[in-house]
């Protein structure tokens, strides 16, 4: 059928309604859109709630969770070569070298479940990691949908972490993790702002209040 033979007086309605009412003069089958694959990054200082919010978001997005902190803690517990080299950095509150992180993440991202999107929690944490992630995603034609920065006052962060009491939540280690955040991770904010991907979210308040803010941003990003 030629386009100029399609009647011009079709009512202005959603395409689904037009098709199901049989108003189109040619056959057309609509296939339901598969669940959109979303790739989201969480950036924030230690204790900002990346892990806490990731738990809530996973159920909502139905994508795999890539937490480099969890991957490292598992590697440390299993005493793998990566874990053994990471441990001393984590104990001091320093970032683990990019080479270790990129090998862990590169392997995980190439697993088939990540083709359906992923939630990157605590990665990237340096501009070099962000550039490598960009290359990995471009090579597999997987776009990044958004970067969520969680903002929390430093006093609140220290209080939250002191209450949690993980091995790396000692006051001097927390201080060093904050130094590493300001020096090595904060430059990522302008990196992603320039790419038009950054969304800053107020991380103060209860986890449910913070999640409601994240959800509002996601609902704008999510393709129909």
**Residues binding ligand B4P (CB under 6 A):** 44, 46-52, 68-69, 72, 89-90, 93, 95-96, 101, 122-123, 125, 129, 160-161, 164, 168, 177, 206-207, 210
Min dist. Cβ of residue 62 to ligand B4P (A)? 20
Q: Smaller CB distance to ligand B4P: residue 69 or 117?
A: 69
Min dist. Cβ of residue 96 to ligand B4P (A)? 4
Q: Smaller CB distance to ligand B4P: residue 36 or 171?
A: 171
Neighbours of 179 (CB within 10 A): 12
Q: Smaller CB distance to ligand B4P: residue 23 or 216?
A: 216
Min dist. Cβ of residue 79 to ligand B4P (A)? 17
Min dist. Cβ of residue 44 to ligand B4P (A)? 5
Min dist. Cβ of residue 105 to ligand B4P (A)? 8
Separation CA 218–CA 146 (nearest Å): 8
State the alpha helices, DSSP H only, in 62-205.
68-77, 81-92, 98-109, 127-139, 154-164, 171-180, 187-194
Q: Smaller CB distance to ligand B4P: residue 38 or 210?
A: 210
Q: Smaller CB distance to ligand B4P: residue 25 or 106?
A: 106
Residues in the chain: 224
Min dist. Cβ of residue 194 to ligand B4P (A)? 20
Q: Smaller CB distance to ligand B4P: residue 19 or 197?
A: 197
**Consecutive H or E run containing 41:** strand 38-43
Spatial contact of 148 and 42, defined as CB atoms under 8 Å apart: yes
What angle is formed at CA 108 by the lines to CA 103 and CA 111, rounded to 5 degrees?
135
Residue with token string 């969304």? 199
What are all long-range contacts of 220-224, with beta carbons under 8 Å and residues at least 24 apart? 221/38, 221/145, 221/146, 222/36, 222/38, 223/33, 223/36, 224/33
Q: Which residue is nearest to ligand B4P (CB)?
A: 69
């Amino acid at each position: 059928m030629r386009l100029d033979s399609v009647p011009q007086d079709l009512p202005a309605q959603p395409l689904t309604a037009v098709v199901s009412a049989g108003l189109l003069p040619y056959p057309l089958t609509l296939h339901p859109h598969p669940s959109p694959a979303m790739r989201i990054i969480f950036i924030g200082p230690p204790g900002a709630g990346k892990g806490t919010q990731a738990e809530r978001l996973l159920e909502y997005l139905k994508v795999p969770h890539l937490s480099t902190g969890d991957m490292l803690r598992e590697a440390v517990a299993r005493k793998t070569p990566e874990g053994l080299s990471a441990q001393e950095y984590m104990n001091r509150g320093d970032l683990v070298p990019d080479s270790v992180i990129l090998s862990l993440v590169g392997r995980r991202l190439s697993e088939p479940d990540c083709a359906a999107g992923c939630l990157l929690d605590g990665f990237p944490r340096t501009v070099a990691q962000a550039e490598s992630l960009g290359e990995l995603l471009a090579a597999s034609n997987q776009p990044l949908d958004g970067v969520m920065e969680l903002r929390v006052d430093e006093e609140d962060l220290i209080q939250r972490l002191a209450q949690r009491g993980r091995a790396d939540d000692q006051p001097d280690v927390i201080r060093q993790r904050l130094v590493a955040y300001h020096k090595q991770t904060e430059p990522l904010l302008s990196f992603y702002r320039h790419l038009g991907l950054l969304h800053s979210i107020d991380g103060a308040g209860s986890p449910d209040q913070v999640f409601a803010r994240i959800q509002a941003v996601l609902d704008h990003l999510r393709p129909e």
